[in-house]
Amino acid sequence: MKTDDDTSVKPSRRNFLAVAGALAGAAGAGAGMMTAKAQVAPSLPTPAQANEEPFYGAYQGGITTPMQESLYFASFDLAATKRSDVIALLRDWTHAASRLTSGLPAEPGIQDLSAPPLDSGEVAGMDPQRLTLTFGFGPDFFSLNGQDRYGIAGKRPPALVDLPHFNGDELVDGQSGGAICIQGCANDAQVAFHAVRQLARISYGAATLKWVQSGFSPANKIQGTPRNLMGFKDGTMNPNSATVGPVVWAGDEGPAWMVNGSYMVARRIRIALEHWDRMKVTFQEQTFGRSKISGAPLGQAAEFDKPDFGATDADGNSVIPDNAHIRLAAPVNNGGATILRRSYSYNNGANFVAERWPPWRQGIEYDSGLFFQCYQRDPRSGFVKLFDKMSKIDALNQFTTHVSSAIFACPPGIAQGEYIGQQLFET
Amino acid sequence: MKTDDDTSVKPSRRNFLAVAGALAGAAGAGAGMMTAKAQVAPSLPTPAQANEEPFYGAYQGGITTPMQESLYFASFDLAATKRSDVIALLRDWTHAASRLTSGLPAEPGIQDLSAPPLDSGEVAGMDPQRLTLTFGFGPDFFSLNGQDRYGIAGKRPPALVDLPHFNGDELVDGQSGGAICIQGCANDAQVAFHAVRQLARISYGAATLKWVQSGFSPANKIQGTPRNLMGFKDGTMNPNSATVGPVVWAGDEGPAWMVNGSYMVARRIRIALEHWDRMKVTFQEQTFGRSKISGAPLGQAAEFDKPDFGATDADGNSVIPDNAHIRLAAPVNNGGATILRRSYSYNNGANFVAERWPPWRQGIEYDSGLFFQCYQRDPRSGFVKLFDKMSKIDALNQFTTHVSSAIFACPPGIAQGEYIGQQLFET
């Protein structure tokens, strides 16, 4: 973390516990203090500020930002009952997020060693590792059980639909939805976890964790498209930096406060890796509609070759099967519907299962798969449209189970001095 | 992965499913194949072989190897009933591990696309990311329920003790022990998971997963000692590269087959981070016996300064409290007992809890903490000796709960052509 020189930002109103201050403490400053008395310690030295993603700007980070290696995603319920408390929370979160993404401790100033730390400290000495913190507002934010808690129910964007029940959904109790989400991404797992943990801590009394998920991606260690745990390249059809803008950023078709925002759909998709690993390579390729190694659409030579969905083989069967994943997902087969996929693999350990179908077995099975996240300008013409059909006939469904589901309206970026979601409350 | 040029190693006897072969498939090789027929595809191109840790040598990798960023640890039960099947499993695992740590697919040769893949493929195109795979034999390996399944019960090293019940242990059912463990460490989470997954797959019928744990560490992204999730530097007292040898490597005091091996103790330690984060910094420092930021022993100026355990303050109290973590762990207070700590933080999500003590609350609590691993020449004079005392009086225990426990004898390294554990079976 660098020296605290962040004097331009008003100290957090939640700094009631201490002399508004950063986690800091000179060598041995706390030495031998058996009684708690306030001590003031100098700040940390300033490392070079490498690996910093911008926090302020027209758009929130973590959406079109090139993927980092680690994800820590958290969905919160709100305990706050007053509009002013929610605004205070968003101010505090914005302030802390702007600091954390710069490699600073969550809260500014000088540490009072007789108070709890203002930052838990496990990334002291590290650069920001390209940390981004992306905030989204779920349906429960606007109204909960029909109650307009914060006077914003009328501002819920039409595009922030309640996701329907999709065919095959097996959502785990308590692991979906939420009022506000924070997507933390960084090139280091400890940095991502640390950042969201600080935000959860300073929200005490106003927000409570509902569900969380960590993830990983080799995206920035590899040339080209990274692979998912099924061994296939994942994201070939994503828009590129030149085309992504109109796909993800909301315009004036919705409420003014969401212009330059985006809509996130998150789905935790458990994958039966043990079954998948026993399928023939040709069957795996027909399931995806792509060659496993090259990523080329079946019938083509290279990953980015255009799929020929009309091609048939000598028997008259489709070269890219009718239920192949890429046929169902391709914009050309969905009236141009396009989304930006930004997914991480996840690994939640392993659980005991007893299976009553081939290959019959009982034992430990991975609780692993894909934490699918996508961004789009309007989920009604994006994820919902695409997945309604896919959930019914995609060949991949034999191996996947959607166990978590959520949708969030991610407001636009902000300028220094503003807070995330300010336009929602103040225009 | 690099081109498969590994012709010196005998093909695995388990390659009955396919023309012994690597996951490989030229661009579009599987295109349009609606019927399954054997196809032979050329190998992948050869990338530069960066980030490779040696697999062969006097010692197994992953013990004194500088820590990587990601851990995937798996403990297995054995289904094999015959000695020859266990030897075959160890041969297969050795063969696959030697390939995986070189960035090759788990099994060699040319892929038959009409068979299941010989490698799931999710790290194709990546270098080895400093992958190490470390094998250990637990008490259940030598005998299970009093039964000497493989004729090796008499070769169990005296140092491979059954770990006692320690004060405060709250071991979760089914998440401790095991017959064989594999510790996979790499600078990428997908690489570590991939490697252990391949080994689990090729063990089908001979071994079954019992419990698993992933972990992370910023160790190689930071100058100096990395911090645990409590924000304190972790490992300051570790032996260094000049002194670690006699601490970890077994000599001729035990069975000949363990010379140059080491004993691993693994403990999953859940940490009450929410409580910890609300403790005063001075209290946290007294708990550890160190300054939080500098890592200096209380009363000293710098991390590696020698602690003065005799120092008292003006009131006659110990400067480093009597129940401080470093006082109890220091070799000088334990007759010289020294271990090599090689621990990763873990994050298994969050669970609902209801607490009946201060600060009273109910809600979601992190299922996170430290996957403590240590290596030593003899656990009786290492971990068991140290932790017996610490489990009773260490101030840290207020925030930690040991939920998994295991011990393994990690045999020495091998030369090419040998298999892990060969000395156990053949001398």
pLDDT (0 to 100) of residue B25: 32
Q: Which of A234-243, B48-57, B169-178 is least confident?
A: B48-57
Residue B40 pLDDT? 40
Residues of A in contact with B347 (CB under 8 A): 72, 189, 193, 214
- CB proximity A190 to B under 8 Å: yes
Mean pLDDT, residues A160-173 taken together = 96
User: Is A348 in Cβ contact with B349 (below 8 Å)?
Assistant: yes
State yes or no: pLDDT of A398 exceeds 60.
yes
State pLDDT tens for residues B255-289. Answer: 999 999 999 999 999 999 988 999 999 999 999 99
Size of interface A-B (CB pairs under 8 A): 314
Residues 289-318, chain A: which have Cβ within 8 Å of B? 291-294, 296-303, 311, 313, 315, 317
Between the CA atoms of B83, B84, B86 and B91, what dihedral angle is there, to the nearest 10 degrees?
150
Confidence of residue A109 (pLDDT cuts 50, 70, 90): low
Query: Would the pLDDT of A309 be above 50?
Result: yes
Beta bridge pairs of residue B375: B264, B340
Residue A52 Cα to chain centre, angstroms: 18
- Residue B283, H or E segment: helix B281-288
Q: Per-residue pLDDT averaged across B347-353, rounded?
A: 88
User: A122 and B227 in contact by Cβ < 8 A?
Assistant: yes
Given a cut of 60, whether residue A379 has pLDDT beyond it is yes
CA-based nearest residue in chain B for residue A189: B216
Cβ(B380)–Cβ(B128) below 8 Å:
no
**Nearest CA-CA distance, residue A234 and chain B, Å:** 10
- A160 to A169, A334, A386, B18, B84: CA distances (angstroms): 20, 20, 16, 50, 61
The residue with greater pLDDT, B115 or B194, is: B194
In angstroms, the separation between the Cα of residue A322 and the nearest Cα of chain B is 12
pLDDT at B109: 64
Q: What's the rounded Cα separation, in Å, for the pair B245 and B247?
A: 5
Task: With cut-offs at 50, 70 and 90, classify the pLDDT of residue B294.
Answer: very high
Query: Is A7 domain-assigned?
Result: no
pLDDT-based confidence at A110, cuts 50/70/90?
low
Confidence check: pLDDT of B36 > 70: no
Inter-chain residue contact B25 with A191, CB threshold 8 Å: no
Residue-wise pLDDT for B378-388, tens only, equals: 999 999 999 99
pLDDT-derived band at B427, boundaries 50, 70, 90: confident
Q: How large is the average pLDDT for residues B226-254?
A: 95
Domain count, chain A: 1
The pLDDT, as a whole number, for residue B243 is 95
Amino acid B113: pLDDT = 86
**Which residues of chain B lie closer than 8 angstroms to A69, CB-CB?**
188-189
| Local confidence band at A33 (pLDDT 50, 70, 90 cut-offs) | very low
- Please tell me if residue A72 touches chain B, with a CB cutoff of 8 Å: yes
Asked if residue A99 is part of any domain, the answer here is yes
User: Smallest Cβ distance to B291: which of A28, A197, A277?
Assistant: A28
Test mutation, B67, B122, B344, chain A, max A CBs within 10 A: B122
Confidence of residue A409 (pLDDT cuts 50, 70, 90): very high
3-state secondary structure of B355: strand
Please give the share of chain A, as a percent, with pLDDT higher than 70: 87
| pLDDT over 60 (residue B38) | no
A220 touches chain B (CB under 8 A): no
For tokens 């009684």, the residue is A35
In angstroms, the CA A228 to CA A232 distance is 6
CB within 8 Å: A111 and B281: yes
Q: Can you tell me the mean pLDDT for B31-47? A: 36
Average pLDDT over every residue of A384-388: 97
Could you tell me where the beta strands, DSSP code E, fall in B95-169?
132-137
The closest alpha carbon to A258, from A385, A142, A178, A373, belongs to A142
Per CB-CB distance under 8 Å, the chain B contacts of A350 are 209, 211-212
Q: Is A26 on the interface with B (CB under 8 A)?
A: yes
Range of the domain at A105: 56-146+158-427
pTM comes to 0.89
Q: How many CB atoms lie within 10 A of CB B402?
A: 23
User: What is the Cα–Cα distance from A260 to B330, expressed in whole angstroms?
Assistant: 56
What value of ipTM does the predicted structure carry?
0.87
Please determine, for residue B102, whether its predicted confidence score (pLDDT) is greater than 50.
Answer: yes
The reported pLDDT for the residue numbered A186 is: 98
pLDDT of residue B10: 34
Chain A nearest-CA distance from B310, in A, is: 12
Provide the pLDDT for residue B27: 30
The pLDDT of residue B342 is 97
Write down the pLDDT at residue B41. Answer: 40
Q: What is the mean pLDDT of chain A?
A: 88
Residue A42: the pLDDT is 36
Instruction: With beta carbons less than 8 A apart as the criterion, state whether B237 and B223 touch.
Output: no
Handedness of CA A78, A79, A81, A83 (dihedral sign): negative
Closest Cα to residue B67, out of B193, B221, B211, B244? B221
Contacts of B25 in chain A (CB under 8 A): 281, 291-294
The partner residue sitting opposite B28, judged by closest CB among A72, A114, A296, is A296
- Say whether pLDDT at A28 is over 90: no
CA-closest candidate to residue A75, choices A270, A206, A208, A261 = A208
**Average pLDDT rounded to a whole number, residues A132-147:** 97
Tell me what pLDDT residue B235 has.
87
Query: Taking 70 as the threshold, does the pLDDT of residue A366 lie above it?
Result: yes
Confidence of residue B110 (pLDDT cuts 50, 70, 90): low
Pairwise CB contact (< 8 Å): A349 & B230? no
Q: Which of B29, B34, B293 sits opposite A291 (nearest CB)?
A: B29
CB of A277 within 8 Å of a chain B CB? The answer is yes
Q: What is the pLDDT, as a whole number, of residue B4? A: 43
pLDDT beyond 50 at B170 = yes
Instruction: For helices A83-100 and A189-202, give the axis angle rounded to 10 degrees.
Output: 150
Whole-number pLDDT of residue A357:
72
Interfacial B residues in 351-370 facing A (CB < 8 Å): 352, 363-364, 366, 368
Torsion (CA) A189, A190, A193, A198 in degrees, nearest 10: -150
Q: Name residues 93-132 of chain B within 8 A of A (Cβ).
A: 111-117, 119-126, 129
Three-state SS for chain A is CCCCCCCCCCCCCCHHHCCCCCCCCCCCCCCCCCCCCCCECCCCCCCCCCCCCCCCCCCCCCCCCCCCCEEEEEEEEECCCCHHHHHHHHHHHHHHHHHHCCCCCCCCCCCECCCCCCCCCCCCCCCCCCCEEEEEECHHHHCECCECCCCCHHHCCCCCCCCCCCCCCCCCCCCCCCCEEEEEEECCHHHHHHHHHHHHHHCCCCEEEEEEEEEECCHHHCCCCCECCCCCECCCCCCCCCCHHHHHCCCCCCCHHHCCCEEEEEEEEEECHHHHCCCCHHHHHHHHCECCCCCCECCCCCCCCCCCCCCECCCCCECCCCCCHHHHHCHHHCCCCCCEECCEEEEEEEEEEEECCCCCEEEEEEEEEEEEEEEECCCCCCHHHHHHHHHHHCHHHHCEEEEEEEEEEECCCCCCCCCCCHHHHHC
pLDDT given for residue A113 in this prediction:
86
B192: confidence class by pLDDT, cuts 50, 70, 90: very high
Mean pLDDT for all residues in chain B:
88
Q: What integer pLDDT is reported at residue A364 of this predicted model?
A: 83
Nearest by CB to residue A27, choosing from B113, B193, B296, is B296
CA distance B233 to chain A (A): 8
Looking at residue B111, its pLDDT comes to 74
A38 part of contact set with chain B, CB < 8 Å = no
| Residue A359: per-residue pLDDT | 62
Q: Nearest to residue A267, comparing CAs of A401, A427, A103?
A: A401
**What's the length of chain B?**
427
- A294/B352 CB distance under 8 A: no
Query: Taking chain B, what is the end-to-end CA distance rounded to the nearest angstrom?
Result: 36
Handedness of CA A12, A15, A19, A22 (dihedral sign): negative
Q: For residue A248, tell me if it sits in a domain.
A: yes
pLDDT band at B359, cuts 50/70/90? low
Q: Would A43 be classed as within a structural domain?
A: no
Please state, in angstroms and rounded to a whole number, the distance separating the CA atoms of residues A359 and A336.
39
Nearest residue of B to residue A287, measured between CA atoms? B34
Q: How far apart are CA A208 and CA A357, in angstroms?
A: 40
Q: Which of residues 223-252 of B touch A (CB under 8 A)?
A: 223-224, 227-232
Tell me, yes or no, if A381 comes closer than 8 A to chain B by beta carbon: no
Which candidate in A3, A119, A122 is best for mutational testing of the B interface (most B CBs within 10 A)?
A122
